[in-house]
Structure formats: C-alpha cells, structure tokens
C-alpha cells in the first residue's frame, strides 16, 4: 500500500480521488468472484446426492438380513423362557408332592411335624416367591366344632412361642369347610391360619378341581392373605386318606382328606427365570387364555409411567402355557437391550455405507468453504474503503496542521500536509515540500534549534517543543511541534507523522499569568500576618502558607508545615473541628481567638479570619489570615486574674467585710455580712452604716465619725472589740469588730471586719451549766468515781469509791497500785488485760467485772466502766469512770445457774429412761414376732416330714405308670404324648414342693465357718448365669473388695442368694437389671440401711450388708406383710412353691442376721441382708 | 426283683421294665416273704424300698446279704425319705448300698440297673 499511497499523493493532491480509486478496484473484482462461487456448490450438491443414494441401497440390504437373524434369536429366547416357567412350576408341584408324603407315613400329621418338614426345606433360598406352605383340611359342618376343640390346644408347642389362636374365617354355614390347619412359616402367615377357602370361589374352584383330577392345580390370580398387594396364586395338591389317588372321581371325592398348598407370588419367580434370556426379552404372565391386564401375574420390567410410551419393540410374541390345570398366557417382547446389540454386528454393509456418506459430505464441505471465503474477503475490502475515506476526511478537517515526513531520505522532505498546515504557516500544501527540507524553519533562532529537531528525529523520541516560528509573510508566531516516528520491523523510522499548532495566544497568556503570580507572591510573602490555605476537617492539610505563618508556628520550610494536620497546631484539637464546621456551614469566620501551639509545642494566642472556597473541581478549602495576639491576651489575663482574686476573697470570707466612706455611707457589703445582718447587699449599699448598730451607737455614730475626721481619736480603729450588732429584723447579737482606715485614690475609707460570736457565747454558757450539773450528779449517785492521769499514774478515787469497800479516805492511796493491791489474785491478769485492750483500741469500751477486797476481808464484785481521753495519735492521756457494786446481783445469778443445771440433769435422766423403755418395747415386739414365726415353722416342719413320705410313694407310682404308658404306645397320637408329659411335669412339681417343705423344716446340720460373702454371691450368680442370660437380664455387681469375713454356712447362704436371684429373675419378665451389692460399715448411715434394721445390732459393731435389687414390678402393699409366710406366693401355679422367702428367712435367723424386703423408690424390690462380722 | 409295700408301684414298675423287653421281673409286697421269694427266684438284682411297715429295708438287705445264695446279688434302695440332691451328694450310696430317691422315672431306674449289673 505504501508506494500506492505515495503515488496518489504526488500525482493527485486531492485525497478523495485516491480513496475513489480503491472503490473502483473492489467493484471490478466482484464479477469474477461471483462466477466462481456459482460453479462450486453445484458440484458439491451432485457429489452428496450420489453418495447418499449408494449408501441407502447398501444399508437396506443389510438391515433385511439382520432382522431375519434377530427374529430367530428372539424365538429361541422366548422358547427357553416358556420352558423355564414350566420347569419352575413343576418344582413347586414336586415340593407339594413330597410334602403330601407325610400323610402317607401316618394320617395324623401334627403342626410340629409340618414345621419340622418345612424348616428342613430352606424355602427362602430354594423357592423364591413361596410365601407359605400349608395344609387345608376338609371338615364337615357337623364336625367343625369338634375339630376346632381338637385343634385349639396346640400340642407340644415350643416354650416361648405364643399359642396359635385358631379362628375360622370367614364364618360361612355350609356342608363342608376347607380350613387351613397348618401353615409355615407361622410368624408371617398367622392370618392365614383357620382361613376357610370353601367360602372363596377362586380358591374353592381350584381346590375342587385338584380334588377331582388328583393333580397339582393352580388358582386363578388372587390376593393372598399374607401379601394382599402382590398378585399371587395358590398351588394345591389333594391328600387322600388312602394315600395314592384313587382311580375315579367318585372315590377321589369320598376319600379326600385335604390339600397341601403353596402360596406363591409369581413376580418373585422372575429371579430364577431371567437367566434364560431375561436381559433381552421382556416377559409378562397373565392368568387365563388372553392377556387381560387385570389378570397379570408377573412382569419382568416395570411398565412405562402413565405419561410415557414404551418404544416399539422389534418383536412380540404370546404363547399359552398349561401349568397346574390352568392356562397362563405369556407375552414376550424385545427389550431395549435386545435392540442395542444387532446393528454393530453387520460391519461390512454399515462401514461401506458410512464411508460413502463421509466422502460425499467431504466433497460438499470443501466446495462450500471456498465460496464463503470469497464472500468474506469482498465484504472486508468494502469496509476498509469506507474507513479510509472517513479517516482522510478527518485529517483534512483538522484544526491542527498535520504533515508527514519521509525518513528514508537524508533530508526528510514533507510528503503530505493538510489545509490547516497551510493556514498556520502561510505555505500552500505544495510549496514547503520538495528539496527544501523543513524550509519553514528559516530564521536564526530556529536554525539554532534545528539540530535539536534532528536529534528528536534520529532518537525517535516523541517531544513537542514550542519554538518561535515565522510565517511565509515573515510574521512571527509561537508554534508547538509534535513528531511521531512510524517504525518498520527492524525498529527503524520510515516516516514521521507531524503536527504543528499555533500557540501564540497561549504563550502570551502564560507570560501574563506568571507576572501576576510573581506580584501576588511578593505581596503575600511580605505580609506581617500569617496567610494560609488549607483543607477542611480534623486532618486538614496546609496547601499554602506565607513566611509569616511559618515563623509563627516555628516551621523551617513549607514542606515541614504541610507534613502536619491543621489540628496539630491547636492546643485543643476539637477547636479546629469546630472552626472547620463553622466555616463549612456559614462560609466565613472573623477574628476567632484560639489558643494555638507551634511545632515546638510553644503555646500562643491567635486571631483567625478565614473564608471557604471551592475550586473548579469542587474541592473545598479555606483561605485565612492568622494574627498572633499573645501579648494582648496575656495583658488581659493578668488584669482579670487580680480582680477575680480580690472578689473571691471578699465573696468567700467567713467574716463580714463592710467598707464605708468618710460620711459613714456603706460602699461594699460582702455575702458573709449579708448572712449576718439579714440585709441584701443592694439594700444596704448607699445607706448609713449606723443602721447596723443598736442604740445608743446608732444615733451617735455620725458624730464619732465627724469627730475622728476632725483629727480626733477613735477607740475602734486598729483594735478588736466585742460590740453588739443589729439585724434587719431588729434583733441584737454579739460580734467581734475590727476597723481599719485606708487611703484609696486620695479618698479615706474605712473597712470593718465583723464576726458573729453568738455561738461561742452560747457554748461558753453551756459548758458552765454542764459542769455544775455533773458535780450535782456525782454527789447524787451511789457509784464510786475514779479519774486516772495515765501519764503520772495518779488516780483520784471519790469518797463513795472508798466507802463502797469499807475504807476511810486516807486508807487507800490515790495511785494505780492502790487499786491493784485490792484486786482478787484470780482477776489480776484479766483486769490488766482489759485495760491494755482498751488502751490499744482492741475493745470499744472499757467494762470490767472484777473482785476487790473489802476491808472486812471478803471480796466484792465490782463493775468498772470508763472512758479514755486520747492525744491526736490515739495514746491515752487520761481515763475516768465509775464503780458499781455487783455483789448482790452476782449471788442471785449463781443461785439461778445452779438451779438450772439440776433441772437439766433430771430431764436427761428422764429422757434416757423413756428411750430405754421404748427400746425394750421394740425388742419385745420383735421377739414376739420371731416366736410366732418360729412356732409356725416348727409346726410346718413336723407336718412336712410326715407328709413327704406318704406323698412321695404315690408320686412314684404315678411316675412309673406314666413311663409305662409312654412306652406302651409307640405310635400314639400327639395328644396322648402331651398328656403324659403334663403328668410327668405334675409329678415333678409335687416333688419340688415336698423337697422345699422338707428343707424348711429339716433339722439339718448348721455349720458356721468364716468366709467371704462375695464368694458365695458370685457362686450363686454363676449357677444361675445361663438362666439370666436367656432372660436377657443384665447383672450389675457392686461388691466391696476386702469385705470382712462373716461366720456362715456357705451352703445355706448360697441357697439364700439362689432363692433371692430366682425371685428377682421371675419378677422381671425380660430385659431387667439385677443389682447385687455388698459393703461393710459401723453405722446405719455408713451402711446406707434403715436405722431400724441396724438397730438390732450393738451400736458401733462392724456389719456386712448385702443388697439384691431387681427392676420388676415390686410387691403389692397388701402382700408385704405376708411374704415370709410359707406357701404364700404371687407367682402363677407351677412357678414357685411359696417357700423361698421362708427358707431365706430361716437361714438368716440361724445366722443371727437381719433381713428387710421393701419396694425401691425407683421400682422393683430391694432385699437387704445384714450380718455381724467376726 | 422288686420289694416294696406299695402294690400299685411294684405292678407298674414290673410292667414298665418288662416293656423294655430285657427284664424278667418278680414283685413282692410283703417284706417278710421277700427273702424266701428271692431265694426261689434268684434275681440278678433287687430293687428295695427302705421304709416298709414292720421291716426296715436296711434289715432286709442285711438278711439278703447273709443268704448264701443271694449274698452277691446287688441291691438298689428306693426311698421316699431322701431328696434327689442328697442322692447325688452321697454318690448314690447310703450304708454301702446304692439308692434312688423317689420319685424316680423308669429311665433312671434302668440306667442304675445297668450300672450295677455291668451290662
């Protein structure tokens, strides 16, 4: 493009023409492009058509062959599946046939035998879908009730299994009933038991057809009793009493005994059938000769949802199967899995077709691509042309002069220039071009700058220096040049794009601005006040400041100032915030006085005047002036201070201060004087001071003043006197007055200081009266008085003090030792300690009861009370108090105390006696109870021993008889066996009772050996372990290690625990918890037993306790009193003899232990046993 | 041979043992006639009640052992006075004789017989 462009520029100066030629070129080429594009797609479409035709024909042939092969495969799969179904049904028929053989062995098959048989089959593994295997017995209406009687007591049911509840359903009156007699597995099929199928047409029909044909027969689709929601069938096989099916129908009907049957869910058979081809074929089985949707029995695949549609299968087929005297319709269809496989199995045909198709498509694609490339190229050329034209137009219309230099030539000639260039420089576009390189730079100055321009061109640096330039007509102007190099691949400039702008106006404006700026700065910098500009807010920064401001804040440079926030210069930064807010709000502040600080923390006062400004960018800032007013501020301050000090003295003085002039007129009257005289300051100022005086001074005062003024003397001035003052209400009060005279500004004034002394006068009076009263009181009281000077040790004892002890005044010396000598020796220590305690401040009051020796030699009880006078450090200086004679009171107290003690003693004795009586009574009652129990046992024992022998012989006879009967009936019916077992059981039970009775009464040897109770407990638990485990009872043992040994008969003791554990186990049905604990201790609390139980032993004796607790239902309240009675039991017949606890009680009594049975708070029974140790 | 004053018992035990098909049983309800009957019958083993009216089983057993023909015949006592547990506790022997506590079933009796006949 570059030569092209150059040519255009040289030959045609008008740029429009160049753009026009490009458009022409594009339109010339268009015709050829369209021609090529038209021929190519036709070839592409033809190739595609032929390719597709060949492919279609080839695949049609392949598809036919594959389909016939698949049809054969489908047929084979369906045949295999049909056979599979028949084989499965035969297996079930065979199962029933073998079950029927039980009746061939003997005709009275019982449920147990049936169960054993069925369990041996492992049904769930080998016969999926088989819910139940049962036996239906034919029962005539007349025999139905008898039959039910026979069937109800289910023979020899295994323990733990609930009784079979037999109920005939539905109850229909008719000649014969077909009742379900056995069914297994019983748990899941219980509802079927007793079901009368003669009342249900589908089952009945099949049963009768089976009876008549003698073959295994299926019912139609029915809802099974066990699983009503799954479609099911019964397979029935008749059982005849003669074993083999009789020959004709009549005989068969007569000899029918019942049916064995299997209840099937046909759906579950699928699992066994599917491997015959179930992955590829979907199977549906319908009951009956037609595929009736209501009669479906099995479907191998879930049917499509209500909205969906199954895809059309490749093949479908239905066959009729005859199984179990019924016709089943089996529908087959191919599954999606079947369809997926075959197409890949014909590689030759498919790959040929595919290859044909690929080649056609490839040819077609190439042709299409060629055409579209041509179209895109043309569109691009048109767009480029339009863009170029627009850019050219922009260059022509530009206000700046634009030009292009050819850098490949040494002289860099201008090869293009626009009209604006011409206008600026005065040269036409053609003129400056050619040989004269940069010819417009022709004056001397410009020539000097020419090497600079060269340097720019060679270095390729983009710069735009402003230079002085001259037009073609010689007029000078300022020009700004910009030069941009156009670089080739090597980074060498090929051309320079240039721009020139006339900046003369701008240059002039700049120069004016610079001059104005300089003047302004000179002005501001020389101002003696601080001038600044800063930004708002707490952290506002200084932007401008004059030297005066820098000096004011002691900043060396502007930068130092700018590094700080404006608020740093305020002693109280909050003031800066206030100032800033005020400025923002109202726009200006004027003469605001602030305490400021310099960068060196020196404080100064400043007056600030500032205004808010907003620049073009919307930034807000403040311009202000700061004047240092510290000197003025300090002067003001000092004046204010001295005035306020004086006023404070006057205002706060406790004494009244009044000043008057020479005429006696009041000039000032302070608040204390106001309080004293009751006049307000305003009332009295300007009045004559004589108002404040009672007569006669009131009338005479003016005269005193006049006389003094005339050079006389005054009694008042310079001294202090007690005088009387007069209040506003006319009352008179005593006061101290001192008057002084002073000269103020050549004037003579008098100041008087007055003090109200009413209170002092009153206090003086009160003290005088108090002293008199005290002297009187001391004389009147009967107490002795003492007054001790601690420092000297001298004590004043009043006369009464001494007579109280029978001494004359001179017989006791007035010292501390005088008192000490009279002290009772036992009280001496206590007395001195009391004094010390009081002195040291440990006791609040000094109060001491002590004995002092009377002159007659006896001791008197004295109560001394006193109080000390202390110095500021708390040291006692003096102490005074009184003595009161307590002797009479003390004696009375002693008597009372003695009487009280005696009373308390007799009460304790009485209390003990009552306790002993109670204990004796309780012991008596216990003994009585034990006697009654013992008598009961003895009587019973005697009886038992006699009875045992007489009962055991008949029992023996019965037992042998039972054994004999048992042996003599080898093939007895089940009921007989049951009867014999019951009899044997009864004999065993009778024997157990007798054995327990004997044990209760037997005078067996009783041997006490020291042993560990824990061992016995553990042994007993071991004996019962299997029983407890089978009842799922949890055993919790809390046996104290190192239990002290007790004297016991280990055998008997074992029996005790066995009995208790058996009771506990029987009290808990299942899943209970048996707790066994042993511990030792010496008190009821330690042993955690009832006081009444431990009370049967000596107090403090070491005892061992054993506790057995169950979580059963506990003992009913009304039974608690009888639990130890022989034969009392709450267990069902056969579960217990009622002797267990009696035996336990007896053994515990033999051990001289104690026993208690109670209901635990948390439920269950707690048995507590107590034994002595050693 | 069974010696017991309980006629129904002896009758039924005889039937019971004979039912097993391997015993020939004679019963005797009068203890006084027992010795003579035994000497005629010559049993392989004698089952004897301990407590019989007039004559104690122990005395009778002594007579049997004293007899020249019966001296080696084992005697098993049957007693209503003892408890099953006691029998086990004494290894089934009292006074040198094995014994069974009534009531006892035929199976236990036959077991005991087998033990003492060694057959």
Query: Would B53 be classed as within a structural domain?
Result: yes
Out of A955, A963, A999, name the one closest to residue B102 (CB).
A955
Q: What is the predicted pLDDT for the residue at A1138? A: 65
Contacts of A962 in chain B (CB under 8 A): 105
Contacts of A955 in chain B (CB under 8 A): 102-103
Contacts of A949 in chain B (CB under 8 A): 51, 80-81
Contacts of A987 in chain B (CB under 8 A): 103
**Cβ count near A949 (within 10 Å):** 16
Contact with chain A for residue B104, Cβ under 8 A: yes
Q: How many domains does chain B have?
A: 1
| Structure token pair of residue A315 | 């093949």
Measure B103 CA to nearest chain A CA, in Å. 4
Domains and CATH numbers, chain A: 122-266 (3.30.450.350), 278-342 (no CATH), 398-508 (3.30.450.20), 527-636 (3.30.450.20), 654-761 (3.30.450.20), 781-877 (3.30.450.20), 886-1003 (1.10.287), 1005-1172 (3.30.565.10)
Residue A1148: name the closest of A1079, A1020, A1055 by CA.
Answer: A1055
Nearest residue of B to residue A984 by CA position?
Answer: B105
CA distance linking residue A356 with residue A52, whole number of Å: 7
CA distance linking residue A136 with residue A795, whole number of Å: 131
Strands A530-534 and A493-502, how do they pair? unpaired
Contacts of A960 in chain B (CB under 8 A): 9, 12-13, 16, 105-106
Measure A181 CA to nearest chain B CA, in Å. 35
Are B99 and B93 in contact by the 8 Å Cβ rule? The answer is yes
Contacts of A984 in chain B (CB under 8 A): 105
CA distance linking residue A980 with residue A156, whole number of Å: 11
Query: Would B48 be classed as within a structural domain?
Result: yes
Query: Would B110 be classed as within a structural domain?
Result: no
Q: What is the predicted pLDDT for the residue at A934? A: 66
Out of A949, A963, A998, name the one closest to residue B105 (CB).
A963
Provide DSSP, A169-224: BS----SEEEEEEEEESHHHHGGGTTBBGGGSHHHHHHHHHHHHH-S-EE--SB--
Query: Would B112 be classed as within a structural domain?
Result: no
CA distance linking residue A832 with residue A846, whole number of Å: 11
Contact with chain B for residue A1115, Cβ under 8 A: no
Are A659 and A749 in contact by the 8 Å Cβ rule? The answer is yes
| Structure token pair of residue A36 | 């090529």
Strands (E), A432-527: 466-470, 476-487, 493-502
Query: Would B35 be classed as within a structural domain?
Result: yes
Are A599 and A591 in contact by the 8 Å Cβ rule? The answer is no
Instruction: Measure Cα distances from A1145 to A116, A1048, B73 in Å.
Output: 48, 14, 47
| Structure token pair of residue A616 | 């073009």
Contact with chain A for residue B113, Cβ under 8 A: no
Contact with chain A for residue B48, Cβ under 8 A: no
CATH of the domain at B40: 3.40.50.2300
CA distance linking residue A168 with residue A176, whole number of Å: 13
Apex A42 CA angle, A41 and A45, nearest 5: 85
Q: What is the predicted pLDDT for the residue at A609? A: 92
Measure B97 CA to nearest chain A CA, in Å. 20
Task: Please provide the average confidence, as pLDDT, over all residues in chain B.
Answer: 80
- Average pLDDT of B75-92? 64
CA distance linking residue A837 with residue A843, whole number of Å: 6
Nearest 10 degrees: Cα torsion A961, A964, A966, A968: -140
Q: What is the mean pLDDT of each run of 10 residues along chain A (1174 residues)?
A: 43 44 50 50 67 77 81 85 86 86 80 84 77 86 74 48 53 76 81 80 87 87 80 88 76 86 84 76 86 83 59 81 86 77 54 69 75 82 89 82 76 75 69 44 40 50 60 72 80 80 85 89 85 86 88 87 86 88 89 88 90 88 90 86 84 86 88 88 88 85 83 76 88 88 82 87 85 77 83 84 86 85 88 87 86 89 87 84 85 90 91 91 81 69 71 84 81 79 83 72 65 87 82 88 86 84 82 89 82 79 89 81 72 63 83 86 87 82
Beta bridge partners of B99: B77
Nearest residue of B to residue A964 by CA position?
Answer: B16
CA distance linking residue A1149 with residue A1049, whole number of Å: 12
Contact with chain A for residue B53, Cβ under 8 A: no
Q: What is the predicted pLDDT for the residue at A569? A: 87
| ipTM of the complex, rounded to two decimals | 0.75
Measure B69 CA to nearest chain A CA, in Å. 30
Query: Would B119 be classed as within a structural domain?
Result: no
Contact with chain B for residue A985, Cβ under 8 A: no
Contact with chain A for residue B89, Cβ under 8 A: no
CB pairs under 8 A between A and B: 64
CA distance linking residue A987 with residue A166, whole number of Å: 30
Phi-psi region of A664 (alpha: psi -120 to 50; beta: other; left: phi over 0): left
Are A1096 and A1073 in contact by the 8 Å Cβ rule? The answer is no
| Structure token pair of residue A316 | 């479908």
Measure A106 CA to nearest chain B CA, in Å. 24
Beta bridge partners of A406: A495
Measure A1051 CA to nearest chain B CA, in Å. 13
Query: Would B116 be classed as within a structural domain?
Result: no
Probe site for chain B from A944, A949, A950, A953 (most B CB atoms < 10 A): A953
Out of A956, A963, A995, name the one closest to residue B83 (CB).
A995
Q: What is the predicted pLDDT for the residue at A445? A: 39
**Cβ count near A570 (within 10 Å):** 19
Q: What is the predicted pLDDT for the residue at A447? A: 43
Measure B110 CA to nearest chain A CA, in Å. 12
CA distance linking residue A264 with residue A96, whole number of Å: 12
Q: Residue for token digits 């209840």?
A: A263
DSSP class of residue A966 equals H
Out of A953, A962, A967, name the one closest to residue B9 (CB).
A953
CA distance linking residue A645 with residue A625, whole number of Å: 36
Q: What is the predicted pLDDT for the residue at A901? A: 92
Measure A1062 CA to nearest chain B CA, in Å. 18
- What range does the domain containing B88 cover? 2-105
CB contact under 8 A, B12 and A968: no
Query: Would B89 be classed as within a structural domain?
Result: yes
């Amino acid at each position: 493009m570059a030569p092209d462009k150059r040519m255009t520029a040289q030959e045609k100066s008008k740029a429009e023409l160049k753009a026009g030629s490009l458009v022409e070129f594009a339109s010339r080429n268009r015709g050829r492009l369209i021609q090529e594009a038209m021929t190519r797609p036709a070839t592409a479409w033809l190739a595609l058509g032929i390719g597709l035709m060949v492919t279609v024909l080839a695949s049609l042939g392949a598809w036919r062959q594959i389909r016939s092969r698949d049809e054969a495969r489908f047929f084979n799969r369906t045949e295999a599946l049909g056979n599979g179904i028949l084989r499965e049904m035969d297996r079930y028929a065979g199962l029933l046939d073998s079950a029927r053989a039980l009746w061939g062995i003997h005709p009275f098959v019982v449920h147990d035998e049936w169960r054993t048989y069925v369990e041996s089959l492992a049904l769930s593994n080998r016969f999926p879908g088989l819910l139940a295997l049962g036996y239906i017995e034919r029962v005539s209406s007349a025999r139905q009730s008898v039959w039910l009687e026979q069937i109800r007591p289910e023979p020899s049911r295994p323990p733990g299994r609930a009784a079979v509840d037999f109920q005939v359903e539905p109850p229909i009156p008719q000649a014969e009933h077909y009742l379900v007699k056995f069914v297994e597995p019983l748990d899941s099929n219980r509802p079927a038991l007793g079901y009368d199928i003669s009342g249900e047409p589908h089952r009945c029909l099949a049963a009768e057809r089976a009876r008549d044909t003698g073959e295994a027969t299926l019912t139609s689709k029915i809802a099974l009793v066990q699983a009503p929601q799954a479609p099911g069938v019964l397979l029935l096989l008749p059982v005849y009493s003669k074993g083999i099916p009789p020959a004709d129908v009549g005989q068969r009907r007569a000899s029918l005994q019942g049916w064995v049957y299997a209840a099937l869910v046909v759906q579950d058979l699928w699992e066994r059938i599917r491997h015959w081809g179930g992955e590829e074929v979907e199977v549906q089985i319908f009951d009956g000769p037609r595929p009736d949707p209501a009669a479906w029995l099995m479907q191998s695949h879930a049917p499509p949802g209500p909205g969906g549609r199954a895809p059309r299968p490749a093949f479908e087929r239905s066959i009729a199967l005859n199984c179990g005297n019924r016709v089943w319709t089996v529908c087959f269809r191919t599954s999606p899995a079947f369809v997926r496989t075959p197409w890949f199995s014909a590689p030759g045909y498919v790959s040929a077709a595919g290859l044909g198709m690929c080649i056609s498509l490839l040819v077609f694609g190439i042709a299409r691509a060629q055409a579209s490339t041509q179209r895109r190229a043309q569109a691009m050329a048109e767009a480029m042309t339009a863009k170029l034209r627009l850019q050219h137009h922009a260059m022509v219309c530009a206000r700046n002069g634009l030009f292009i230099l050819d850098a490949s030539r040494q002289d860099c000639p201008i090869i293009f220039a626009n009209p604006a260039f011409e206008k600026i420089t005065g040269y036409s576009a053609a003129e400056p071009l050619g040989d004269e390189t940069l010819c417009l730079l022709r004056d001397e100055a410009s020539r000097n700058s020419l090497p600079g321009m060269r340097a720019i061109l060679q270095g390729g640096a983009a710069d735009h220096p402003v230079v002085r330039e001259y037009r073609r007509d010689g007029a000078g102007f300022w020009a700004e040049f910009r030069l941009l190099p156009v670089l080739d691949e090597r980074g060498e400039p090929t051309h320079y794009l240039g721009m020139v702008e006339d900046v003369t106006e701008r240059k002039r404006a700049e120069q004016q601005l610079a001059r104005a700026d300089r003047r302004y700065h000179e002005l501001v910098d020389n101002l003696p006040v601080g001038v600044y500009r800063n930004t708002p807010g707490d952290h506002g920064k200084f932007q401008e400041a004059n030297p005066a401001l820098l000096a004011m804040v002691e900043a060396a440079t502007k930068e130092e100032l700018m590094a700080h926030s404006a608020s740093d210069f305020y002693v109280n930064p909050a003031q800066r915030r206030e100032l800033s807010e005020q400025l923002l709000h109202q726009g200006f502040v004027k003469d605001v006085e602030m305490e400021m600080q310099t960068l060196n923390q020196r404080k100064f006062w400043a007056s600030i005047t500032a205004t808010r400004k907003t620049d073009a960018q919307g930034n807000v800032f403040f311009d202000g002036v700061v004047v240092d007013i510290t000197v003025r501020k300090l002067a003001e301050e000092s004046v204010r201070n001295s005035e306020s000090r004086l006023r404070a003295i006057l205002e706060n003085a406790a004494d009244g201060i009044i000043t008057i002039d020479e005429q006696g007129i009041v000039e000032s009257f302070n608040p204390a004087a106001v309080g004293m005289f009751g006049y307000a300051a305003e009332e009295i100022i300007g009045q004559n001071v004589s108002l404040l005086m009672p007569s006669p001074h009131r009338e005479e005062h003016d005269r005193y003043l006049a006389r003094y003024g005339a050079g006389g003397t005054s009694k008042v001035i310079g001294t202090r006197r007690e005088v009387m003052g007069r209040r506003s209400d006319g009352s008179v009060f005593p006061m101290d007055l001192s008057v002084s005279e002073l000269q103020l500004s050549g004037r003579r004034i008098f100041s008087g200081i007055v003090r109200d002394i009413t209170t002092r006068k009153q206090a003086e009076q009160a003290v005088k009266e108090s002293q008199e009263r005290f002297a009187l009181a001391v004389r009147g009281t009967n107490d002795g008085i003492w007054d001790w000077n601690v420092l000297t040790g001298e004590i004043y004892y009043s006369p009464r003090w001494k007579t109280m002890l029978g001494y004359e005044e001179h017989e006791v010396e007035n010292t501390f030792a005088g008192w000490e000598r009279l002290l009772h020796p036992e009280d001496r220590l206590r007395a001195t300690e009391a004094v010390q305690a009081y002195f040291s401040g440990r006791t609040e009051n000094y109060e001491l009861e002590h004995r002092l020796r009377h002159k007659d030699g006896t001791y008197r009880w004295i109560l001394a009370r006193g109080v000390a006078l202390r110095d500021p450090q708390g040291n006692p200086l003096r102490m005074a108090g009184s003595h009161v004679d307590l002797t009479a009171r003390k004696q009375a107290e002693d008597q009372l105390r003695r009487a009280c003690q005696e009373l308390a003693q007799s009460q304790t004795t009485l209390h003990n006696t009552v306790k002993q009586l109670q204990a004796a009574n309780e012991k008596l009652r216990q003994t009585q109870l034990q006697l009654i129990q013992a008598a009961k046992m003895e009587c019973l024992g005697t009886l038992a021993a006699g009875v045992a022998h007489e009962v055991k012989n008949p029992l023996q006879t019965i037992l042998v008889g039972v054994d004999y009967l048992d042996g003599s009936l080898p093939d007895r019916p089940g009921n007989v066996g049951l009867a014999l077992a019951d009899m044997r059981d009864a004999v065993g039970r009778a024997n157990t009772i007798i054995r327990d009775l004997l044990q209760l009464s037997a005078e067996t040897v009783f041997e006490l050996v020291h042993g560990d109770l824990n061992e016995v407990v553990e042994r007993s638990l071991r004996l019962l372990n299997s029983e407890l485990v089978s009842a799922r009872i949890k055993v919790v043992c809390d046996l104290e290690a190192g239990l002290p040994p007790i004297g016991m008969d280990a055998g008997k003791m074992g029996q005790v625990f066995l009995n208790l554990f058996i009771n506990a186990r029987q009290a808990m049905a299942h899943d209970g918890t048996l707790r066994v604990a042993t511990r030792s201790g010496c008190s009821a609390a330690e042993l955690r037993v009832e006081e009444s139980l431990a009370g049967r032993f000596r107090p403090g004796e070491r005892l061992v306790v054993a506790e057995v607790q169950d979580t059963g239902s506990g003992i009913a309240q009304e039974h608690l009193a009888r639990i130890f009675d022989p034969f009392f039991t709450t267990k069902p017949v056969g579960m217990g003899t009622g002797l267990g606890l009696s035996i336990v009680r007896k053994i515990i009594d033999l051990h001289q232990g104690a026993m208690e049975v109670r209901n635990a708070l948390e439920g269950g029974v707690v048995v507590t046993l107590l034994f002595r140790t050693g | 041979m069974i010696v017991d004053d309980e006629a129904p018992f002896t009758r039924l035990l005889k039937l019971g043992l004979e039912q097993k098909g391997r015993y020939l049983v004679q019963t005797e309800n009068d203890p006084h006639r027992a010795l003579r009957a035994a000497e005629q019958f010559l049993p392989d083993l004698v089952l004897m009640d301990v407590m019989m009216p007039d004559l104690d089983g122990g005395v009778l057993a002594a007579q049997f052992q004293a007899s020249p023909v019966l001296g080696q015949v084992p005697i098993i006592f049957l007693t209503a006075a003892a408890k099953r547990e006691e029998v086990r506790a004494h290894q089934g022997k009292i006074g040198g004789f094995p014994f069974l506590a009534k009531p006892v079933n035929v199976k236990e009796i036959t077991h005991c017989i087998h033990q003492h006949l060694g057959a």
